[in-house]
Amino acid sequence: MIARPALLLTGVSLATGIAAWWVASHALGSPLFPSPAEIVASAKELVRTGVLLSDIAVSVKRIAIGFVLGCAVGIPLGLAMGLFRPVRAFCEPIVQFLRFVPPIAWLIPAIMWFGIGETSKILLIFYMTVFLVLINTMAGVSSIRRNTLRSAETCGVDRWQLFWWVVFPATMSYSVAGARIALGNSFAAVVGAELIAADSGIGFRIVESGKWLAMGDMFAAILILGLLGIAADRLVNELASRWLRHYLPPAEQHVG
Amino acid sequence: MSADVTFRGVDFAFGTAQPVLKDLDFQVGNGEFFVLLGPSGCGKSTALNLIAGFEFPTSGEVLAGGKRIEGAGRDRAVIFQDSDSLYGWLTVLDNIAFPLRVTGAPRPERRERALASVKLVGLHGHEGKYPAELSGGMKQRAQLARALVLDSPILLMDEPFAALDAQTRSILQDELVQLNIHMKKTVLFITHDIGEAILLGDRVGIMRAGPASAIKEFIDVRLPRPRRRGSAEFGELYERIGQSISDEVRRALQREDSLLS
């Protein structure tokens, strides 16, 4: 729980931000710089007509599918690369190369190959998630302490027991750390893709509003984007600390 | 089954480096509490790793119960100095029951035997906690409880109390003595603490400073248990072992100095 003074400061901080925006918008008096009230009114209207919700749904769906697929491939591959030297030797050069090519660089080829629809966006999120999760998982395997494995050997584990009961849970915290970063970046990535080429989604709404100079709508979309990012981050934190509490390193545990 | 441990002409080296152990020869009898005492870096933990089956001798033989060691096994429980052998994602009880989960024992039996072990080492009330929530002494108790669940005739202890504060260490030493009066396990206990060696051991093997270390001298500790640190006999033995080992410590320090300069 947040302590009272901290909560108060959070409130003051938000109020200051909104006030600063309000002052700037009134000082400029430009239609390109709508006031907070106008943005909220636009947001309400977008919610009422259902446009905003369907935009959110589209973007969130793209993120969710790409993210889940990315974890589903990244975790096993990271484990395999961490555990088996030949697999690592084979995959590492490719991984090391690709991880320095930003996802957005693939957007144009992806759109040419898969069209402007869902596939190219999902692929982008998948691509980003896979490398973050994979590299973290691999690091997790090599971070397992020697005695962790040795004590299991002393108990007479076979290969499968060692994997499922020791190696896999011991790596979990690293995989989760990678997944968290991936999810955080997913929003930026999906919106980036939707800005460049899409026919729906929050990024598309920003571009579309800009075209018609509907500045209220545009800023409403940006506002929602920030709120969604916070919500997703909170959700992952909440889920992780509820279900994965004891898989995370002690520093992140809420002891007591 | 006989639970003796034998080192016969054991050499050990990491790769082509200078040998850590050279011609190490000793035997631990069935039910004997044997302490391997030596300055840091003398290879005493390496000796334990050889019996545990974590490492293999470059030449010579290591036998447990008359059989050549092929790898780690349930007949030789190990208690490590650090608690990274406990699993952070399992409760204390599940950690302790882990050896039974490996054999596929039914859940009620696992629980029952783990709880019995929890009681023996004085961990009751903590079985639902996670390792991160335990103090250093409690973690070592948990390791001991897990070793008891394994029910191995041979217990290998690698400086298990070295990282604890003096009070906790002394309490755990006493508890180990009490426990082993009933268990009568064959114990190989590694330490650099002379007092601990006398307090616990039936016999103490003093190791030479490395490299190419082996046992310099065996000393029988014929004091009745429980032993008291303040007693005259204790003091005499302490003096005697202290003298024997001080040369080795000095040599170990000189070697460290020459490595640093």
Shared-domain flag, residues B163 and B180:
yes
Domain ranges in chain A? 56-252
Question: pLDDT at residue B261 above 70?
Answer: no
B77/A154 CB distance under 8 A: yes
Shared-domain flag, residues B21 and B59:
yes
Question: pLDDT at residue A73 above 50?
Answer: yes
pLDDT value at position A118? 86
Q: Among B71, B80, B88, whose Cβ lies nearest the Cβ of A147? A: B80
Best of B74, B81, B89, B129 to disrupt the A interface (most A CBs within 10 Å) is B89
The per-residue DSSP string of A165-219 comes to: IIIHHHHHHHHHHHHHHHHHHHHHHHHHHHHHS-SSSHHHHHHHHHHTT-HHHHH
Shared-domain flag, residues B130 and B247:
no
Residue B182 domain boundaries: 5-75+155-260
Is omega for the bond preceding B226 within 30 degrees of 0, making it cis?
Answer: yes
Give the gap in angstroms from C-alpha A249 to the nearest C-alpha of chain B: 8
* CA-closest candidate to residue B74, choices B101, B112, B47: B101
Domain boundary among B105, B129, B151: B151
% residues pLDDT > 70 (chain A)? 95
B15-51 per-position pLDDT tens digit:
888 889 898 999 999 999 999 998 887 889 999 999 9
pLDDT value at position B257? 76
B212-244 per-position pLDDT tens digit:
888 888 999 989 888 888 889 999 999 999 988
Indicate the pTM of the whole model.
Answer: 0.82
Q: Among A145, A156, A169, whose Cβ lies nearest the Cβ of B84? A: A145
Question: pLDDT at residue A75 above 60?
Answer: yes
A246/B88 CB distance under 8 A: yes
Domain boundary among B135, B151, B167: B151
Exposed / middle / buried, residue B24 (Cβ in 10 Å: 0-12, 13-18, 19+): buried
A4-21 per-position pLDDT tens digit:
778 899 999 999 999 999
Q: For the domain bounded by A56-252, which CATH number is listed? A: 1.10.3720.10
CATH of the domain at B49: 3.40.50.300
Give me the mean pLDDT over the B84-103 stretch.
94
Shared-domain flag, residues B119 and B159:
no
B89/A170 CB distance under 8 A: yes
Shared-domain flag, residues B69 and B166:
yes
- Decide: A156 and B103 in contact? Cβ < 8 Å: yes
Shared-domain flag, residues B174 and B127:
no
Q: Among B54, B102, B133, whose Cβ lies nearest the Cβ of A156? A: B102
Give yes or no for B181 touching A (CB within 8 A).
no
Shared-domain flag, residues B165 and B186:
yes
pLDDT value at position B32? 94
Question: pLDDT at residue A96 above 70?
Answer: yes
Question: pLDDT at residue A252 above 50?
Answer: no
* CA-closest candidate to residue A220, choices A53, A40, A49, A51: A40
Shared-domain flag, residues B159 and B147:
no
pLDDT value at position A249? 57
Shared-domain flag, residues B61 and B99:
no
Residues 6+ apart with CB under 8 A from B83: B131, B134, B136, B139, B140, B142, B143
Contacts of B73 in chain A (CB under 8 A): 154, 156
User: Residue B209 is which amino acid?
Assistant: A
Domain boundary among B120, B151, B182: B151
Shared-domain flag, residues B89 and B142:
yes
Residues 6+ apart with CB under 8 A from A187: A59, A63, A225, A228, A229, A232
* Sheet (strand B154-158) strand order: B76-79, B154-158, B186-191, B33-37, B203-207, B215-220
Shared-domain flag, residues B215 and B114:
no
Euclidean distance between CA atoms A107 and A186, whole angstroms? 14
Number of domains in chain B: 2
Question: pLDDT at residue A1 above 60?
Answer: no
